[in-house]
């Protein structure tokens, strides 16, 4: 059994670490940022170990302990894999990439402190990190003040464009809107339940979706919006309500922005109350391959998810990525997911920009980023836009019993929109950091001025 082997392997470590972990989080020795002296590192017998002329420090700001460790640990490993891969190819500008891993421990203010530590103390040239919007918002003032560079790899609610952040995940127009379009066209849905966990991402996304649906002629009484607390586990009442809402004779669907942990009990309750995907399909924006590996997938088959990447995407570059990931992590059963792909394209775009700029200086790299094109993992091209977002295809997948997705719809690359066009107050705002006439993240096309807000 794999967990027994794991237990043996980790028991020693966990004992040593568990005491320290309470305060600091357990950092495996291999990832310790201690600058490796060149004579200790190349113990491997392989020939042509590349020689490096200096170092480029890459900050990794993902929670390795606490509630968000479940999602973020994977992204830390992804960055480490990409760094290792880049070093094997000779590094960047002849220099070796050195990852600096810190653990903000799912603690939002700590994200800001660790960012400061990374930039001021460690002197990193770029940071890959954050998952929740609140952690990103906590990092923003610090990273703008110190003029750092952050790549944020998770789908989010939009309405933001910082000079110092590149958003490699999906903006609402790259995930939510196309998913709703799919349900309308392919499944003929006329009645909508917008179900979310009570925090900023679902509330903003649902506000945008509500405006969008109404614009499409959906009546007020055909939309039901509800929020539940974090980690909500008793879904009986709400599922009964959804069941009744769906009995009105019109095809009904649930658009779910339910956060990670509350999903399992939600889908279980749906299945137990006899609601199948053919009756009321649920399209989720936060359920990916990794989350599914912790689910009993039987009750979920046929429900949908919208992402910009699925592990099942058929592309050579994807097969290569999956094989490399499984080899790096040493576990055949591990899966890949969308935020990993977002990390991948962010890293590749940054590497390309550094080569183009010939330096790791933040301002030079930032200017070099615009217009850079890197292949994504679904066989297309991701282009960096002047609003710090990327072009991404939108994929709709149906959950299969093996925890993978069957891709039922795939769009062309959609440019990410920082400010949504479906809320009147945001529609008139654009972000453009390339055009010298605008050069800000929140240019109001009516008043012809930037709002003055930093991000």
Partner 1 sequence: MRILLAFIFALSCQWVIASPTALDNPSPQASFSSLVQQLPAASIKELSPLVDQLAATNDPKALTLLEALKDGQLYYTKDNKTVVRIIEENKATKEVTTETILEPLTTQTINTKTIKKIRVNNALRGQIGDYLSALKLFAEDETVRQAAIADFITQPDPEQVGLLQQAQANEQNEQLKAQLSIALASIDAHNSALPENQLAAVTLLAESQHMETFYWLERLQEKTTNPELKQAISTSMDSIQSRRDRYKMVENTFFGLSMGSVLLLAAIGLAITFGVMGVINMAHGEMIMIGAYATYVVQSLMPNHIGYSIWVAIPVAFLSAALVGILIERLVIKHLYGRPLETLLATFGISLILQQAARSLFGPLNQSVITPQWMSGSWEINPMLAFTYNRLYILFFALMVFFGLVLLLRKTSIGLHMRAVTQNRAMANSMGIRSGRVDALTFGLGSGIAGLAGVAISQLNNVGPNLGQSYIIDSFMVVVFGGAGNIFGTLYAAFGLGMINKYIEPFAGAVLAKILILVFIILFMQWRPRGMFAVKGRFVED
Q: Name the one range near partner 1 by CB under 8 A: 10-18, 45-53, 123-131, 135-143.
A: 10-18
135/431 with CB nearer partner 1: 135
Could you tell me which residues come within 8 angstroms of residue 171 by beta carbon, excluding any fewer than 6 positions away?
A: 155, 156, 158, 389, 416, 417, 418, 420
- Torsion, Cα 215 217 222 224, to 10 degrees, reads 0
Tokens of 16: 């040593």
- Cβ-based nearer residue to partner 1, 158 or 196: 196
C-alpha 35 chain-centroid distance: 29
The mark string for 384-423 relative to partner 1 (x by CB under 8 A, - otherwise) is --------------x-xx----x-x---------------
Could you say which of 145, 247, 439, 451 contacts partner 1 (CB under 8 A)? Answer: 247
Q: Is 237 in the site for partner 1 (CB under 8 A)?
A: yes
* Piece of 15-23, 127-135, 144-152, 338-346 that binds partner 1 (CB under 8 A): 15-23
Q: Which H helix or E strand runs over 108?
A: helix 108-116
CB closer to partner 1, 84 vs 198: 198
| Closest CB to partner 1 among residues 69, 134 | 69
- How far apart (Å, rounded) are the C-alpha atoms in residues 349 and 100? 19
With 0-12 / 13-18 / 19 or more C-beta atoms within 10 angstroms meaning exposed / middle / buried, residue 56 is buried
Asked if 29 touches partner 1 (CB under 8 A), the answer is no
The set of residues, in sequence order, having a beta carbon less than 8 Å from that of 10 and lying 6+ positions away, is none
Beta bridge partners of 92: 95
- Cβ contacts of 73 within 8 Å, gap of 6 or more: 62, 63, 64
Q: Are 411 and 394 in contact (CB under 8 A)?
A: yes
Which position among 51, 145, 236, 451 is part of the footprint of partner 1 (CB under 8 A)? Answer: 236
Window contacting partner 1 (CB under 8 A); options: 49-57, 147-155, 269-277, 415-423: 269-277
Does residue number 41 form part of the binding site for partner 1 (CB under 8 A)?
A: no
CA-wise closest residue to 390 among 409, 416, 370, 412: 416
273/439 with CB nearer partner 1: 273
Beta carbon of residue 263, minimum distance to partner 1 (angstroms, whole number): 8
Residues 292-351 that bind partner 1 (CB under 8 A): 293-299, 301-302, 304
CA angle 449, 451, 455 (to 5 degrees): 130
> What gap in Å lies between CA 351 and CA 357, rounded to an integer?
10
**What is the closest distance, in whole angstroms, from the C-beta atom of residue 327 to partner 1 in the complex?**
18
Report the distance separating Cα 146 and Cα 435, nearest Å. 23
Site map 44..83 versus partner 1, x via CB under 8 A: ---------------------x-x-xx--x----------
Residues forming contacts to partner 1 in the complex (CB under 8 A) are 1, 3, 6-7, 10-11, 13-14, 17-19, 21-22, 26, 65, 67, 69-70, 73, 186-187, 198, 226-229, 231-234, 236-238, 240-241, 244, 247-249, 261, 264-265, 268-269, 271-274, 277-278, 281, 290-291, 293-299, 301-302, 304, 398, 400-401, 406, 408
């Amino acid at each position: 059994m794999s967990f027994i082997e794991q237990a043996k392997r980790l028991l020693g470590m966990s004992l040593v670490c568990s005491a320290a972990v309470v305060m600091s989080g357990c950092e495996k020795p291999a990832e310790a940022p201690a600058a490796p002296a060149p004579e200790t590192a190349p113990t491997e017998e392989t020939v042509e170990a590349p020689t490096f002329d200096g170092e480029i420090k890459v900050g990794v700001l993902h929670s390795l302990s606490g509630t968000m460790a479940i999602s973020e640990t994977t992204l830390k490993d992804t960055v480490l894999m990409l760094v290792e891969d880049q070093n094997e190819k000779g590094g960047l500008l002849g220099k070796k990439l050195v990852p600096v891993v810190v653990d903000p421990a799912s603690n939002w203010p700590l994200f800001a402190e660790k960012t400061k530590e990374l930039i001021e103390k460690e002197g990193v040239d770029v940071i890959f990190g954050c998952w929740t919007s609140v952690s990103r918002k906590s990092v923003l003032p610090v990273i703008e003040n110190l003029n750092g560079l952050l790549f944020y790899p998770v789908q989010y609610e939009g309405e933001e464009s910082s000079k110092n952040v590149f958003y490699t995940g999906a903006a609402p127009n790259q995930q939510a809107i196309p998913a709703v379009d799919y349900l309308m066209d392919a499944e003929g849905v006329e009645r909508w339940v917008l179900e979310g966990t009570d925090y900023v991402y679902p509330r903003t996304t649902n506000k945008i979706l509500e405006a969008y649906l109404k614009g499409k002629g959906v009546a007020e009484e055909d939309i039901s919006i509800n929020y539940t607390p974090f980690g909500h586990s008793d879904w009986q009442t709400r599922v009964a309500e959804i069941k009744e809402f769906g009995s009105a004779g019109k095809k009904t669907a649930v658009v779910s922005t339910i956060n990670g942990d509350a999903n399992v009990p939600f889908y279980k309750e749906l299945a137990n109350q006899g609601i199948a995907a053919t009756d009321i399909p649920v399209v989720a924006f936060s359920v990916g391959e990794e989350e599914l590996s912790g689910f009993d997938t039987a009750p979920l088959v046929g429900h949908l998810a919208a992402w910009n990447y699925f592990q099942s995407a058929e592309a050579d570059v994807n097969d290569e990525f999956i094989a490399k990931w499984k080899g790096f992590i040493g576990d055949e059963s591990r899966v890949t997911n969308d935020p990993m792909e977002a990390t991948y394209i962010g890293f590749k775009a940054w590497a390309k920009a550094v080569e183009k700029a010939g330096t790791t200086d933040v301002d030079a790299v930032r200017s070099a980023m615009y217009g850079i094109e890197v292949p994504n993992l679904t066989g297309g091209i991701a282009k960096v836009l002047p609003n710090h977002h990327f072009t991404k295809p939108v994929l709709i997948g149906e959950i299969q019993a093996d925890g993978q997705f069957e891709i039922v719809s795939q769009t062309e690359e959609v440019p990410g929109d920082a400010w949504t066009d479906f809320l009147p107050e945001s529609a008139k705002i654009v972000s453009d950091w390339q055009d010298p006439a605008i050069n800000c993240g929140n240019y109001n096309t009516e008043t012809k001025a930037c709002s003055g807000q930093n991000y």
